[in-house]
């Protein structure tokens, strides 16, 4: 069977090779389209049974064009780029690869926090992470890796996640919180790891950010959609001590950069999972999952049940 690997943002070379080896060894055939356009995607999906993507948008139009498609695996954690209802209606199984790229994202959180507390390395005197408090918003795979690394920095930790029992956080030395206002008011740093859903979209805005203590830093390696961008900008303009660092460039990035200068930083493209290791782990896992589904319906990580 044919498996399309379509990545607007390509995997590292070694990861793409490992994916190809995995697919070829299974007796399936791989098609690789890197940096492809929407038109390329619509053409390439026409004859494939399996599809591996990253943050590439897979909607009903793509599924209509993919007459043979049985399974889509998002090589990564978040699957807000895939229309799950359309997939279900088309009889297509959608899976993600949980945990495979979470260390890479968690390490970037610290890269970004150090950069911000050292004033973007501009030569002025900054501050240290040791002894500061960190609020982790969502205690999934990334949040847990963030907690693990934060301990090495000597930060005190709290987390909020309605789906995770307190005991799981406590076992990691993290104090559970049940109130989002407290997460913002009690932490020098807040790191977002919530998915983009209808409930979370636009949920982080003026009111929450204004609750942060003096010199608070908001770190977003999750999704730009969870931010109310106008509200955040208003807060950053009123509170010139606050800072925002994101791996997910906001739509109002230019305005934020003009008005807040070095208090904000955005990666030009989502970089959290862009490491050789994360690409390899997520890419090979995705290949194995597509192969297993096509072989005997293996669907452990199906997200459109
Ligand atoms: C994820 O949801 O796994 C991360 O945001 C990584 O996304 P990417 O594969 O587009 O880098």
**Parent domain of 42:** 2-100+275-296
If one counts every other C-beta atom within 10 angstroms of the C-beta of residue 220, the result is: 25
**Burial class of residue 97 in the structure, from the number of CB atoms within 10 Å of its CB (0-12 exposed, 13-18 middle, 19+ buried):** buried
Instruction: Compute, in angstroms, the gap from residue 238 CA to the centroid of ligand 1.
Output: 32
pLDDT tens per residue across span 38-63: 999 999 999 999 999 999 999 999 99
Give residue 248's pLDDT.
83
256 and 122 inside one domain: yes
Strand-pair partners of 244: 218, 264
Instruction: Compute, in angstroms, the gap from residue 6 CA to the centroid of ligand 1.
Output: 14
For residue 301, tell me if it sits in a domain. Answer: no
pTM of the model: 0.96
The helix (run of H) or strand (run of E) holding residue 7 is: strand 2-7
Is 216 touching ligand 1 by the criterion CB < 6 Å?
A: no
Helices (H), 154-238: 166-171, 180-185, 206-210, 229-238
Give the residue from 193, 192, 190, 108 showing the smallest Cα distance to 149: 108
Number of domains present in the structure of the chain: 2
What's the pLDDT band for 65 if we cut at 50, 70, 90?
A: very high
Is 140 touching ligand 1 by the criterion CB < 6 Å?
A: no
24 and 168 inside one domain: no
Give residue 226's pLDDT.
98
CATH of the domain at 222: 3.40.50.720
Instruction: Compute, in angstroms, the gap from residue 102 CA to the centroid of ligand 1.
Output: 9
d(CA 267, CA 274): 12
Ligand 1 mutation target, pool 58, 76, 285, most atoms within 8 A of CB: 76
128 and 262 inside one domain: yes
User: By alpha-carbon position, which residue is closest to atom 2 of ligand 1?
Assistant: 78
d(CA 184, CA 208): 6
pLDDT tens per residue across span 113-164: 999 999 999 999 999 999 999 999 999 999 999 999 999 999 999 999 999 9
């Amino acid at each position: 069977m044919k498996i399309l690997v379509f990545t607007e943002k390509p995997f590292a070379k070694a990861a793409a090779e490992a994916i190809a080896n995995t697919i070829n060894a299974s007796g399936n055939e791989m098609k690789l389209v890197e940096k492809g356009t929407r038109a390329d995607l619509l053409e390439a999906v026409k004859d494939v049974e399996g599809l591996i993507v990253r943050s590439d948008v897979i909607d009903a139009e793509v599924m209509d064009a993919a007459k043979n498609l049985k399974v889509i695996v998002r090589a990564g954690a978040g699957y807000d780029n895939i229309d799950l209802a359309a997939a279900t209606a088309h009889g297509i199984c959608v899976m993600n690869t949980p945990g495979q790229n979470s260390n890479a994202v968690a390490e970037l959180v610290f890269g970004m926090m150090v950069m911000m507390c050292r004033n973007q390395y501009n030569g002025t005197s900054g501050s240290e992470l040791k002894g500061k408090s960190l609020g982790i918003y969502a205690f999934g795979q990334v949040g847990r890796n963030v907690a693990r690394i934060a301990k090495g920095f000597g930060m005190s930790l709290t987390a909020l996640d309605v789906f995770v029992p307190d005991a799981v956080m406590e076992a990691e030395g993290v104090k559970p919180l049940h109130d989002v206002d407290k997460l913002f008011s009690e932490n020098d740093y807040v790191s977002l790891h919530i998915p983009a859903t209808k409930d979370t979209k636009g949920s982080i805005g003026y009111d929450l950010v204004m609750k942060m203590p003096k010199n608070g830093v908001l770190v977003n390696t999750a999704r730009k959609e969870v931010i109310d961008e106008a509200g955040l900008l208003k807060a950053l303009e009123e509170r010139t001590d606050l800072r925002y660092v994101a791996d997910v460039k906001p739509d109002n990035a230019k305005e934020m950069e003009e008005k807040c200068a070095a208090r904000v930083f955005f990666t030009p493209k989502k970089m959290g999972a862009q490491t050789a290791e994360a690409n390899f782990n997520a890419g090979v896992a995705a290949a194995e999952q597509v192969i297993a589904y096509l072989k005997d319906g293996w669907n452990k990580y199906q997200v459109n049940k």
